Amino acid sequence: MNKYDFIKQGNLLYRHTADNDVECRIISTPEKVDSDSIILVATGSSEIEVLASELSPIGSSRSHKEEFLRWKKEREAEGMEFFSRLSEVMETDSGLAVGDMVAFTNDYGVVFGPKEVLAFRKPWNGGRCVYIDSDAYWFPDRPGQLTILSKGGAE
């Protein structure tokens, strides 16, 4: 997993400028993307080259964290068990933990984020075990669909 896995041709992202965040669409990228990689993006009617470090996924402004915490409490009362780290539910080298910020890539390659990791459960339904702050907070995602953007979770 690379911090810049969300930068793919065709994706709609934010470009951070000194004044604000501007929506842009990725036109082309190098094969391997690092923070200093040059990315060609389209903004409105023009194209511009930017550094990968200037880009971020477009996120939802509405948090579902409170709803998730209520839902989780109800499930725990029914005997469901939740965990704080991915390594507690599966064999992994990933340090993914509750509180980390991730980008979510769906099965069609569309990227959403940043999203906060809220909990983990033993894998089920094709390896789904990570709950993130999304409008489908009750449906876990597969670890392979997530790219860590920043650490904020339990160390």
The DSSP code sequence of 71-126 is: HHHHHHHTT---BSBGGGTS--S---BTT-EEEEE-TTS-EEEEEEEEEEEEEETT
Look up tokens 């991915």; give the residue: 86
> What pTM was estimated for this model as a whole?
0.67
What pLDDT shows up at residue 44? 77
The stretches in the chain having pLDDT less than 50 are: 155
99 class by beta-carbon count within 10 Å (0-12 exposed, 13-18 middle, 19+ buried)? middle
- In tens, the pLDDT along 26-51 reads 999 999 998 899 999 998 778 999 99
Q: Tell me what pLDDT residue 22 has.
A: 82
Residue with tokens 């915490």: 69
